[in-house]
Amino acid sequence: MAHSYLFNCRRCKHSQQLYEGWRFMEHDQTVESVLNSTQIKLHYKTREKITSLAKTHHQLQVKTEYKIYRCQTCLQLSDKLVVTVWNGEQRLHQTQFKCANCRARLKHTNIHRVKFAICPKCKSKQFEKSKVLMLWN
Ligand SMILES: [Zn+2]
Ligand SMILES: [Zn+2]
């Protein structure tokens, strides 16, 4: 299940839709299915990381999930496909992201609590959450 959040700028009317949650039918997947999936667009570095971990660990689980981040430095929003690799209880890898706008490192954001962000177009602070939709896979 996923949520879609719509943010609208009250000043310039720019809007941005963001996703959080599982957009794919199976969110717990095997290494092979993730690497071979046509839906999941992996960054080449993530792909290399998973491939090399799979050589030494044979029971890997991979979770793919969309998460929304609000940059703590420039307050702009983005959604990212977070890939987490587990070996039993042990977390071996999770994708890290940098803000596309200012290159600061992104930390997890609780989107439910975020009421506003900075509009990527006009940079006003009147970029507000207007709609939340539930999406069923
Ligand atoms: Zn930023
Ligand atoms: Zn704007």
Q: For residue range 18-37, what is the model confidence (pLDDT) as tens digits?
A: 999 876 655 567 888 888 88
pLDDT at 81 over 70: yes
Q: Are strands 2-9 and 15-21 parallel, antiparallel or unpaired?
A: antiparallel
Q: pLDDT value at position 4?
A: 92
Distance CA 32, CA 28 (A): 12
Q: pLDDT value at position 15?
A: 97
- Higher-confidence position of 7 and 41: 7
Residue 106 Cα to ligand 1 middle (Å) = 8
pLDDT at 137 over 90: no
Residue 97 Cα to ligand 1 middle (Å) = 11
Count of domains for the chain: 1
Q: pLDDT value at position 115?
A: 85
Distance CA 114, CA 128 (A): 9
Distance CA 48, CA 39 (A): 18
Distance CA 28, CA 34 (A): 9
pLDDT tier at 40 (50, 70, 90 boundaries)? Answer: confident
Range of the domain at 121: 2-135
Residue 118 Cα to ligand 2 middle (Å) = 8
Q: pLDDT value at position 34?
A: 85
Alpha helices, DSSP H, located in 1-137: 31-36, 44-56
Distance CA 13, CA 123 (A): 12
Distance CA 18, CA 98 (A): 17
Mean pLDDT over 53-57 rounds to 92
